[in-house]
Amino acid sequence: MMRVVTFGEIMLRLSPPANTRFSQAQSYDAHYGGSESNVAAALAQFGVDARFVTRLPDNDISDGAVAGLRALGVDTSEIARGGERVGVYYLERGAGQRPSRVIYDRKNSAIATASRDNFDWKRIIGGADWFHFSGITPALGENVAEIALDAVTCAKRCGATVSCDLNYRTALWSIGDARRVMARFAPHIDIMIANETQLRDVFGDDAHFPIAATTVRGGSSADENDFAGELRIGGTVYRSRGYRLSIVDRIGGGDAFAAGLIYAQLNGYAPQDAVEFAAAAGALKHTIDGDVLLANVSEVEAVVDGGDGRVDR
- Residues of this chain, 20-49, that bind its own copies according to CB under 8 A: 20-30
Distance (Å, rounded) from C-alpha 24 to C-alpha 134? 33
Q: Name beta bridge partners: 231.
A: 213, 238
Set 129, 165, 249, 255: catalytic member: 255
Tell whether residue 174 is a contact of its own copies (CB under 8 A). no
With beta carbons less than 8 A apart as the criterion, state whether 114 and 145 touch.
no
- CB of 264 vs its own copies, minimal distance in Å: 18
Site for its own copies in 212-231 (CB under 8 A): 217, 219-225
Please state whether 127 falls in left (phi above 0), alpha (psi between -120 and 50) or beta: left
117 is catalytic: no
Site for its own copies in 120-149 (CB under 8 A): none
Tell whether residue 112 is a contact of its own copies (CB under 8 A). no
Question: Measured from the CB atom, is 27 or 174 closer to its own copies?
Answer: 27
Q: Applying CB under 8 A, what is the total number of residues that bind its own copies? A: 85
H or E stretch covering 105: strand 101-105
Question: Measured from the CB atom, is 60 or 205 closer to its own copies?
Answer: 60
With beta carbons less than 8 A apart as the criterion, state whether 276 and 260 touch.
no
Q: Name beta bridge partners: 219.
A: none
Site for its own copies in 76-95 (CB under 8 A): 84-86, 88, 90, 92, 94-95
Positive or negative torsion for Cα 257, 196, 268, 39: negative
Question: Measured from the CB atom, is 235 or 306 closer to its own copies?
Answer: 306
Task: Tell me, residue by residue from 264 to 303, as one string, x for binding to its own copies by CB under 8 A and - for no binding.
Answer: ----------------x--xx-xxxxx---xx---x--xx
Site for its own copies in 238-267 (CB under 8 A): 243-248, 250-251
174 phi, psi to nearest 5 deg? -80, 160
Distance (Å, rounded) from C-alpha 251 to C-alpha 234? 30
Given 2, 49, 81, 102, the residue binding its own copies (CB under 8 A) = 102
Tell whether residue 236 is a contact of its own copies (CB under 8 A). no
| Furthest CA-CA distance within the chain | 54
Which residues are the active-site residues? 255
